[in-house]
């Protein structure tokens, strides 16, 4: 079976990258992580790539100043040179231009720590607590021009428990992210190329089963 050559873009810690690297270690997994690109030279996640023997590149946005197109042009060139078909954004903290989004339309995923369309943007766990929701979670979606938007490929839900802080809730969500992202990438890899909005349904969608009993469940 030919595996889809996949790149992961990161800016920091890279725990989702580590989960994807772990999944792709399995020969039967339909995607191969072939390249990791960080826009931050100090991104801790680069160590995961090195440990896995996967090529890691730093393409710092700062030398490009305000020229976003030039920075993305350098990334597109690196991705093309590595024969990359699919891209996973995993804690990549820069907005992408329409050009970059169009280049990878239907081939680029993002993971977001909320049950979209609720809580796009930052500080999702604190906002979920402030809103008083009883279920929270994470979403993997295809990347479109709008922030934290685009067709949903997979979601996982967790309960919000009494006494939760943004940190405890975030940790519960993150554990699900690490299961969900490999699942969603596998769905895309099996459906790609050409997995566009309508194609999501054809390729299958997924929801991880809630791993925790809901508190105060009615008898
Ligand atoms: C994750 O919570 C992800 O959902 C969000 O950024 C965070 C990245 O964490 N987009 P890590 O770098 O994968 O550990």
Which value, to the nearest 10 degrees, does the dihedral of the CA atoms of residues 57, 28, 16, 51 take?
-50
For 13-61, the pLDDT digits (tens) are 999 999 999 999 999 999 999 999 999 999 999 999 999 999 999 999 9
Catalytic residue among 48, 61, 71, 112: 112
Residues with Cβ < 8 Å from 165, sequence gap 6 or more?
A: 129
Higher pLDDT, 110 or 209: 110
From 90, 118, 149, 166, the mutation candidate for ligand 1 (largest count of ligand atoms within 8 A of CB) is 90
For 60-76, the pLDDT digits (tens) are 999 999 999 999 999 99
Q: How far is the CA of 152 from the centre of ligand 1 (A)?
A: 17
Q: Are 191 and 86 in contact (CB under 8 A)?
A: no
In this structure, the residue with its CA closest to atom 2 of ligand 1 is: 113
103 assigned to active site: no
**What proportion of the chain, given as a percentage, has pLDDT over 90?**
86
pLDDT at residue 190, rounded to an integer: 95
10 SS3 class: strand
pLDDT at residue 202, rounded to an integer: 42
CB of 16 sitting under 6 A from ligand 1: yes
pLDDT at residue 207, rounded to an integer: 62
| Radius of gyration (C-alpha) of the chain in whole angstroms | 17
Candidates 165, 161, 158; CA nearest to 135 is: 158
pLDDT at residue 201, rounded to an integer: 44
CB of 12 sitting under 6 A from ligand 1: yes
Q: What is the number of the ligand 1 atom nearest to the C-alpha of 11? A: 12
Number of neighbouring beta carbons within 10 Å of residue 178: 18
Q: What is the pTM of this model?
A: 0.91
Distance from CA of residue 68 to its chain's centroid? 21
Q: Are 106 and 83 in contact (CB under 8 A)?
A: no
pLDDT category of residue 192 using cuts at 50, 70 and 90: very low
Q: What is the number of the ligand 1 atom nearest to the C-alpha of 12? A: 12
From 8, 19, 23, 91, the mutation candidate for ligand 1 (largest count of ligand atoms within 8 A of CB) is 91
């Amino acid at each position: 079976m030919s595996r889809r050559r996949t790149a992961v873009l990161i800016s920091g810690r890279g725990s989702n990258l580590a989960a994807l690297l772990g999944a792709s270690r399995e020969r039967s997994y339909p995607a191969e992580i072939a390249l990791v690109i960080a826009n931050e030279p100090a991104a801790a996640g680069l160590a995961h790539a090195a440990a896995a023997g996967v090529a890691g590149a730093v393409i710092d946005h700062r030398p490009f100043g305000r020229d976003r197109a030039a920075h993305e042009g350098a990334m597109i060139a690196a991705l093309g040179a590595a024969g990359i078909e699919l891209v996973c954004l995993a804690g990549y903290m820069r907005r992408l231009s329409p050009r970059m989004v169009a280049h990878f339309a239907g081939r680029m995923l993002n993971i977001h720590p909320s049950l979209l369309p609720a809580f796009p943007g930052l500080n999702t766990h604190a906002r979920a607590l402030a809103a008083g929701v009883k279920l929270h979670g994470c979403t993997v979606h295809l990347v479109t021009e709008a922030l934290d938007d685009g067709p949903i490929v997979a979601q996982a839900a967790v309960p919000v428990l009494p006494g939760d802080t943004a940190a405890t809730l975030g940790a519960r969500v993150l554990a699900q992210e690490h299961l969900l992202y490999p699942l969603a990438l596998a769905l895309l890899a099996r459906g790609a190329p050409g997995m566009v909005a309508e194609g999501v349904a054809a390729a299958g969608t997924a929801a991880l089963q809630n791993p925790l009993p809901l508190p105060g469940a009615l008898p």
